């Protein structure tokens, strides 16, 4: 299993960062070059993803079109939420999102991302040679987009009907 961690400092309030990280539209904006979409077969396809809600993502990664179903499995607004893969190409995937307000008033967003490739022996080789770097880059690109949106005057268009989240 691979563990990735990334910390991003954002010049925006913690509640805004927490909600933007749960936004389907922000996720799609950060993955536009993969043709990612939220599929309408079931689950959430727009807005903010809440506790126990699922999203089916469809995208092309490493040349293969695939679906991944994720569910919010833990939520402690506005400091932590967790999404877990329910169905998908990986043997295991979990993403913990942590937020804290810094003394400067900025928000620290910390991502801890775990995944395991299918096929134990060959999967471990793929994790080391390809997937670790690929997934780290995806995580970084996502965080850059969240930071850019949160710090821009455009952030309300991504949270038009946002209400404080419930746990």
Q: Where are the beta strands (DSSP E) in the chain?
A: 2-10, 37-38, 54-61, 64-76, 80-87, 92-101, 107-116
Residue 163's pLDDT is what?
47
Contact 88, 58 (CB under 8 A): no
pLDDT at 164 over 60: no
pLDDT at 160 over 80: no
The pLDDT confidence band at residue 162, using thresholds 50, 70 and 90, is low
For 95-151, what is each residue's pLDDT tens digit?
Answer: 999 999 999 999 999 999 998 887 665 555 555 666 888 889 889 999 999 999 999
pLDDT tens per residue, range 22-63: 998 998 886 555 555 556 556 677 889 999 999 888 765 556
For 133, how many CA atoms within 13 A lie in the half-sphere containing its CB?
6
| Per-residue pLDDT at 116 | 86
* pTM, entire model: 0.86
Dist. CA 97–CA 1, nearest whole Å = 18
């Amino acid at each position: 299993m691979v563990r990735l961690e990334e910390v991003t400092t954002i010049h925006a309030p913690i509640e805004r960062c927490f909600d933007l990280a749960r936004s389907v539209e922000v996720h799609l904006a950060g993955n536009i070059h993969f043709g990612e979409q939220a599929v309408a077969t079931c689950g959430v396809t727009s807005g903010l993803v809440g506790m126990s809600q699922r999203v089916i993502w469809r995208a092309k990664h490493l040349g293969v079109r695939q679906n991944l179903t994720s569910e919010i499995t833990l939520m402690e607004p506005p400091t932590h939420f967790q999404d877990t893969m329910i169905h998908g190409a990986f043997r295991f995937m979990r993403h913990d999102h942590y937020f804290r307000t810094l003394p400067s008033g900025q928000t620290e967003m910390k991502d801890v991302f775990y995944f395991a490739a299918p096929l134990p022996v060959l999967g471990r080789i793929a994790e080391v040679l390809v997937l670790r770097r690929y997934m780290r880059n995806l995580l970084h690109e996502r965080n850059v987009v969240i930071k850019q949106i949160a710090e821009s005057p455009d952030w309300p268009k991504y949270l038009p009907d946002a209400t404080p989240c419930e746990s």
